């Protein structure tokens, strides 16, 4: 009977130890489940944050692409304006050259007009002299 009582106490101790082990294991598993749930929640938050950052990155990339297109358009416009200015400069240079030529021709014409005016005045003087002479001769004849 004593042996049974001792064995009974021994079994009770083993049962208590097993209960303590089971409780300890249950707590450990509950903590592991909690940690896993926390890790899953953090992973979900990181995934959401990554998705948000990817969307922002995509939007920023689109904005950069638009800015690059605007820069390219600006460069194209700048080149077109430069080409137009070169054409206008060439046209102005051509007009200046024509103007200079016309100015030289005008100067030559003015010189010719002065010369011809002098010659005309000389002819008028000669004509006047001839008329005077004719008048005198006419008077003498009369």
Q: Confidence band (pLDDT; 50, 70, 90) for 142?
A: confident
Helix, strand, coil share of the chain (percent; to 5)? 100, 0, 0
Residue 94 pLDDT > 90: yes
Structure pTM?
0.48
CA dist 23 and 25 (Å) reads: 5
CA dist 141 and 135 (Å) reads: 10
CA-based nearest residue to 123, from 15, 131, 110 = 131
Q: What is the pLDDT of residue 1?
A: 83
DSSP string, 38-54: HHHHHHHHHHHHHHHHH
Give 22-76 pLDDT, tens digit per residue.
Answer: 999 999 999 999 999 999 999 999 999 999 999 999 999 999 999 999 999 999 9
3-state secondary structure of 1: coil
């Amino acid at each position: 009977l004593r042996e049974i009582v001792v064995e009974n106490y021994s079994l009770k101790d083993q049962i208590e130890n097993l209960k303590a082990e089971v409780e300890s294991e249950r707590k450990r598993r509950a903590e592991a489940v909690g940690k896993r749930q926390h890790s899953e929640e953090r992973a979900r938050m990181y995934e959401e944050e990554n998705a948000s950052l990817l969307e922002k990155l995509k939007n920023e990339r689109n904005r950069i692409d638009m800015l690059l297109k605007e820069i390219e358009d600006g460069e194209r416009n700048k080149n077109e304006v430069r080409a137009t200015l070169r054409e206008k400069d060439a046209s102005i240079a051509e007009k200046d050259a024509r103007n200079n030529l016309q100015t030289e021709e005008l100067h030559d014409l003015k010189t010719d007009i002065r010369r011809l005016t002098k010659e005309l005045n000389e002819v008028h003087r000669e004509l006047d002299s001839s008329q005077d002479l004719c008048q005198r001769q006419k008077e003498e004849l009369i």
